[in-house]
Structures are given as C-alpha cells and as structure tokens.
Amino acid sequence: MAPMGIRLSPLGMAVFCLLGLGVLYHLYSGFLAGRFAFFMLSEPAAAGGPESPRGSVDRRELLAVSVLAAVRGGEEVKRVREGNVLNAKAKGKTREGAEEQLTSGDLLSNRRMFYLLKAAFPAVQINSEERVDTADQETVSWDRSIPEEIKQIIQPKEVPAESVTVWIDPLDATQEYTEDLRQYVTTMVCVAVNGKPVIGVIHKPFSSYTAWAMVDGGSNVKARSSYNEKTPRIIVSRSHAGKVEQVARQTFGNKTVIIPAGGAGYKVLALLDVNEKNQEEADVYIHVTYIKKWDICAGNAVLRALGGHMTTLTGEEISYTGSDGNEGGLIASINMNHKALIEKLPDLEKTSHK
C-alpha cells in the first residue's frame, strides 16, 4: 500500500517500467550480441578440429600428420628395442602356420600413432594392425603445423571425410625386430580415398629415414632409373624365397637374383632410389600368400604416386576398403612393363593359395 496522501498513477508506473526496460536493454544488448557472435564463430571448431563444417578433410594435412605419426611411432619402436624391453609373445599363427610375434614396441607405437591420428581427424576411419585398448587411451594433440618440405610440394585439397580410410602399421617386420635385424623395420601410415591408396608414409626408425608420397601431389622420394627386365632382381619374404626362386628362374633365367628380406615396407623401398647403406635394391617385389592391407597400403600409395604398380598376382587392383586382408598375393614394380611381368609369372597365382 502506498503512503497516505500519495496516489500512484497507472500511467506513471507504465512510463517508469518502460524506462527501466530501456536501461536494461542498453546495458545487456551489447553483451548478449557478443556472446551470440562468439557462439556462432566457435561452433565449427568445437565440432571437429581439422574437419570443416562441410565434413571434409584436407589431404595435405592428412599427409603432414601421417608423417608425424610414423615418426612418433618409430620413436617408441626404437626406444623399446634399444632398451631391450621387448616383452615378446606369440599372438597367433599365420595361415602358413608360423607364429606371429607381438612386442611392447608394437603396442606402444600403435598407441602413439592411433591416438595422434584420431585426435587430428576424429571423423576419419582408422584401421590398425594392433587392437586399440580404450582403457589405455593417450591424449595427443596436433598443432596442425605443416613441414616446409610438404608445403613446398603439396597443395591443399579437400576430400569428404567419409571417403577416407587410414591404415596403420605400427611396426612392420616384427619377427625381424625380435631378431634385432633393425634394417628391415618400418612404421607406416596410408590414406585411402574411396578404397584407392593416395598417401603413403614409410619410416625407418633406426636410421630416421622417411619416404612419403601423394598421388597427384608429389613426393620426397624417386624411383630408380636402372632396371633389368630380362633378369630382374626379385625381392621376397624370407620365408617365401624357396617358393619363388624356382618359378622365377624358370621364367627369367638362371641369372635371376632372389633377395630374401623382411618387412613389406622395406621391400617397397628396395624398388626406389633410397640413399641408405642398409637398403638393398630390387626390380620386382613379389609376395605369394595372403597379406594384410596395413602391410602394403603405404607402399602401394608411394608406388602409385611415382607411376609404379602394385597388384595381385593376376593383375587386379587392391581395394583398401572392406576386409583387412588381400587374398591374391602381390607383385609390385616401377618403370617396368607390369602387365608383361604378370604374364611371365602365371604359376605364382596358384602358389599363393598353397
């Protein structure tokens, strides 16, 4: 109730309320507008890091973080081997009956590589040789910096995130790793777009050498210029040398050289111009049995970028979608008549199923 003698006018009260609302609007309108602008500008960044609001990713950024992941994984591989804390154990048998080894180097490299790539590109599918333990998750960030070497060669190009599959091999040549045959060991990352390998990174942890290439983009490695197609040097898995040697020499002649080696990454590098004292040179890479796609995707991408080929033994292109295995063996070459090589080795496709 108003004091005695004072009567409140309804019109005056209305004017007073309107004036109060005006003052409040003046005070808070700028603040609210600023908060709205901040929300609108911040929304895309919170939604997914390097992925754009349209759901695409930049291939140059994918290459940069793939190189970083291979190197970081390699650091773990090297640290474990030099500390002699492998903790090696059998994780199963291959189709040929050989025991597959698993070491601390495999697991720690996998953890470092997977979570770096996942943090950088959370919407992209990542397939890795080793199982990812969510209880052992590692927080890894990427500052999105791109090395000058990549900037000078590769131009930005966006692709839909849903079309991308990343294949990780955190430690290629584990058997040789346990035997301390360090020259064969690599860490690898491959990026496939719609099943086709377009980015490949092969890193040698014990010499710090890294080869990378992008299809229709560029590379930091070249193919060798000297090849002998009549009597090629054929690089094969150590366990397959006997299977390949007889057929290869019947086909190309007794002067054909068979080079047993470990690791798919090492074998692909043998086809390239790699300035490494412990890197052998070969003209053709042949594998005659089932092989996992994370073993070969990076090498396939590098060869494709340089004009080379990696196919099944019957000449079919290998798709990097669906299952994680390639059933038809493989033959890889560069600066050679790939089709003629396949036609010369018809019996190897049958060998691959034995």
| Binding-site annotation, residues | 129, 169, 171-172, 295
Catalytic, 321? Answer: no
Which residues, including other chains, have CB under 8 Å from residue 299's CB and lie 6 or more apart? 188, 200, 202, 264, 265, 267, 268, 310, 332
Tokens of 88: 């090696």
Which residue among the candidates 58, 103, 165, 174 is catalytic per the annotation?
174
CB 201 within 8 A of CB 116: no
Torsion of CA 29, 30, 35, 36, to 10 degrees: 60
HSE-up (13 A, CA, CB side) for residue 92: 3
Catalytic, 106? Answer: yes
Annotated binding site for Mg(2+), which residues? 129, 169, 171-172, 295
Which residue among the candidates 58, 103, 106, 186 is catalytic per the annotation?
106
Instruction: Give 201's strand partners.
Output: 189, 212
Could you give the 3-state DSSP secondary structure of residue 172?
A: strand
Rounded CA separation 311/325 (Å): 14
Rounded CA separation 229/343 (Å): 13
Helix, strand, coil percent values for the chain (each to nearest 5)? 40, 25, 35
Q: Which helix (H) or strand (E) holds 310?
A: strand 309-311
Long-range CB contact pairs, 242-246, < 8 A, 24+:
243/288, 243/351, 243/354, 244/286, 244/288, 244/348, 244/351
CB 267 within 8 A of CB 234: no
Closest of 190, 149, 156, 165 to residue 300, by C-alpha: 190
Q: Which of the residues are catalytic?
A: 106, 174
